[in-house]
Amino acid sequence: MIWQVLEGLSRDSAKRLRFVPGVVYVDEGAACGQSPEDRAKTLAEMKLILQTVGFPWHIVALEEVFGLPPSVLRHLAQEPSGTKGAYKAAVDSFLQQQHAPAPGEEQLSQPGSQDPQGPAGLPTAAQTEAQAPTAAQTEALSRLFDSVKTLTAKEELLQTLRTHLILHVARTHGYSKVMTGDSCTRLAIKLMTSLALGRGAFLAWDTGFSDERHGDVVVVRPMRDHTLKEVAFYNRLFAVPSVFTPAIDTKAPEKASIHRLMEAFMLRLQAQFPSTVSTVYRTSEKLVKAPRDGNSGGPPGPRCLLCMCALDIDTADSATAFGAQTSHLSQMQPPTPPAEAPTTPCCSAGVGRAQGCCRGAGPCRREDPRASVIEQLCYGCRVNMKDLPSLDPLPPYILTEAQLRSQRASVLQEIQEYLIDSDDEVQTGES
């Protein structure tokens, strides 16, 4: 994709792309269990390639999630300020690298765009390279990933953290769009995987062309029309250099995680029915970003803490209510005291702790921080969290944001009766 962008920006292409690109590479070696020497070697290879590309680059290590601010999890509505400043910096760095100053001719200070890549794709370089991560952070990261029980949850957690990190880099450097290199095949696999993980409500955001969940920074997927085979041929024909880094699921057995299973299944089915991937892709184009019942006219509900989609836990739906109810009926003593007051008529016998986003009494909630975090997550993230026995190894920004939100919710509950019922006021009060 970076090569395509390079061509698109070059002087002699027919339709010139008009934006200021930068490249981001996230070094995930610690999560994958790589040794420091391997990571250094990979980084050196990456830098080599990135320098030939010539865009401003940023290398960040995944350990930096431990230093992220909680604002990453908030939905910011405005454009990131300081685009002009970043533009100038970009121009300066361009001149420093003595490449053709393409941005100099375009008087646009608007959308800068940034191309982050996954671990096995084209690498990116960091101009403003952060200092090497400290050993403590690396250890904290490996502890976090070791505490996750299943590979599925590990992969999901990795994706979440990576998204947040890239988002943060984009915001600090003033980029307003993030382009990812997901191809058609990968998106079809991702669609089926999300379906199996319980994220059916958010498929349009996860696999659509543009994903504006985070407000100011939009994630776009320009490569979604190209199949993996086409990409491979392109890379080969045009001698696009690439670096291979082992990912978190390299050499894992096929049945180890849902992602692997789905990938193997889709590729096998594709061999038998050659239209499988394109059929699934076409179905994904028919998905819209609206709640199913069409109550999109009302104010947006609370958002999931981790994936920032509107929460899809409904008190009236059948599957989640049933899941909670079976765990309640079968247990005489629920393991944690139910911290929420029952508000749902259908579960008349009381509510399990995964039920709804109801507001409990303040003191009860603080005794059970895990429940308060869990109730701010969407269904898919909740299922992932089940594989995480303790929430402590999570990066602090997640925990502080969770606590902030639950405090705000309880405060709002207390003053609810005094508020004049205007939707605007309520919305600015919540994060």
Partner 1 sequence: MPAPQCASCHKGRAALRRPRSGQALCGTCFCAAFEAEVLHTVVAGRLLPPGAVVAVGASGGKDSTVLAHVLRELAPRLGISLRLVAVDEGIGGYRDAALAAVRRQAARWELPLTVVAYADLFGGWTMDAVARSTAGSGRSRSCCTFCGVLRRRALEEGARLVGATHVVTGHNADDMAETVLMNFLRGDAGRLARGGGLGSPGEGGALPRCRPLQLASQKEVVLYAHFRRLDYFSEECVYAPEAFRGHARHLLKLLEAARPSAVLDLVHSAERLALAPAARPPPAGACSRCGALASRALCQACALLDGLDRGRPRLAIGQGRRGRDEVGPATGTSQEREQVQPPAREAVPAVPTF
Q: Which residue has the tokens 């029952």?
A: 342
Q: What is the smallest separation between the CB atom of 318 and partner 1, expressed in angstroms?
A: 6
Cβ-based nearer residue to partner 1, 239 or 271: 271
First to last CA, the chain: 35
Pick the binder of partner 1 from 17, 89, 130, 196 (CB under 8 A): 196
Pick the binder of partner 1 from 14, 239, 271, 332 (CB under 8 A): 332
- Whether 17 contacts 9, CB under 8 Å: yes
Cite the beta strand spans of 32-154 per DSSP E. 57-61, 112-117
- What separation in angstroms does the CA of 370 have from each of 74, 90, 234, 323? 20, 43, 48, 19
Cβ-based nearer residue to partner 1, 220 or 261: 261
- What separation in angstroms does the CA of 165 have from each of 25, 61, 274, 275, 405? 10, 9, 37, 36, 21
Nearest to 76 by CA among 166, 161, 167: 167
Site string for partner 1, 334-373 (x = CB under 8 A): ------------x---------------------------
d(CA 401, CA 263): 34
Pick the binder of partner 1 from 83, 176, 183, 194 (CB under 8 A): 194
- Whether 41 contacts 33, CB under 8 Å: no
Pick the binder of partner 1 from 165, 383, 394, 402 (CB under 8 A): 383
Cβ-based nearer residue to partner 1, 114 or 315: 315
Q: What is the smallest separation between the CB atom of 323 and partner 1, expressed in angstroms?
A: 6
For residue 262, give every residue at least 6 positions away whose Cβ sits within 8 Å of its Cβ, in sequence order, or none: 189, 192, 193, 196
Using CB under 8 A, which residues numbered 242 to 281 contact partner 1?
Answer: 255-258, 261-262, 265, 269, 276, 279-280
What sign does the dihedral 43-48-51-53 (CA atoms) show? negative
d(CA 338, CA 335): 9
Pick the binder of partner 1 from 185, 320, 355, 406 (CB under 8 A): 320
| Residue 76 binds partner 1 (CB under 8 A) | no
Q: Kindly determine how many residues on this chain lie close enough to bind partner 1 according to the rule CB under 8 A.
A: 54
| Residue 380 binds partner 1 (CB under 8 A) | yes
- Whether 388 contacts 153, CB under 8 Å: yes
| Residue 286 binds partner 1 (CB under 8 A) | yes
Q: What is the smallest separation between the CB atom of 195 and partner 1, expressed in angstroms?
A: 5
- Whether 154 contacts 143, CB under 8 Å: no
| Residue 75 binds partner 1 (CB under 8 A) | no
Residues that bind partner 1 (CB under 8 A): 150, 152, 191-192, 194-201, 203-204, 255-258, 261-262, 265, 269, 276, 279-280, 282-283, 286-292, 312, 317-323, 325-327, 329-332, 346, 379-380, 383, 386
